[in-house]
Amino acid sequence: MTARLNQDALERFFGLMRQSCGAHTHPEPKVFAQLYRLLSIYSLVKPVRGSNITGGEMLSTLLDLTDLKEQTGAERKRELESRIDNLLTQGDDLDYINDLINEANDHNYLDESIDEFALSYVGGFTARSCSKFAGKCEACMKCLAKPKEDATDEDFLITLKSLGGLTYPTNELKDFLRHLDNQVLKTCKNNELQENILFLVVDALERFDNIPLVGCPDHKVSLSKSIMKYF
């Protein structure tokens, strides 16, 4: 009855925090705050041993340790980059046309489109961040950004927020980002959140033959790949 009225509860709490630090039994405030958040989330995700409740769906979205042993992060990154390379360099393949027609007839994805003002704003940020991937190619730079004088009504949000330093994306870049965004939204809607969600997005992109690439004829594959990885 008096356990809550004395300092025993506080001593148990701080003792638990010190034990979580391992050999470092005197954590700094920053480390203490991180451990507190980790332990708080852990208690919500993992049920208490011996309790009469079962784990929720959140556990199914966590990466199991066995998966880490089977395939490392570097291997998964190389596999994803290889899939993107094959996607951007594939030729015309007519085998998917019937599937695309059936999918268009069976589903309506009009609600899965990004707002044009938001797309233009995100496109401007992407153009500025990905300009380093264009190198010294002036043609690629012109495919990413356009002058302020060429701004359209869709660029109103950029004009409203700009203090003189924001970038206006080209229609070519916006078409590419729109295509990527639609496939990401569609994939996340039709699949549960999981460790292979990026590979599922690539699978969805592979079903389209003519992806609108960005860049000059010599660099459009490499530049589009860099933008896709950034996005």
Q: What is the pLDDT along the chain (231 residues), one digit of tens a residue?
A: 555 566 677 777 777 777 777 666 677 777 778 877 777 766 555 555 665 555 555 555 554 545 545 556 677 677 777 777 776 666 544 444 445 445 544 544 445 567 778 888 888 888 888 888 887 888 888 888 888 877 778 877 887 777 777 888 888 888 888 888 877 777 777 777 767 777 777 777 767 667 777 888 888 788 888 888 777
CB 43 within 8 A of CB 175: no
The pLDDT assigned to 177 comes to: 83
pTM (global) more than 0.75: no
The pLDDT assigned to 4 comes to: 58
The pLDDT assigned to 123 comes to: 81
Distance between first and last Cα of the chain: 56
How much helix, strand and coil, in percent to the nearest 5, is found in the chain? 70, 0, 30
Q: Pull the structure tokens for residue 70.
A: 């089977």
The pLDDT assigned to 87 comes to: 67
The pLDDT assigned to 94 comes to: 42
pLDDT tens sequence across 86-114: 766 665 444 444 454 455 445 444 455 67
The pLDDT assigned to 110 comes to: 42
CA distance 146 to 189: 33
Q: Which residue has the tokens 């994939």?
A: 187
The pLDDT assigned to 165 comes to: 73
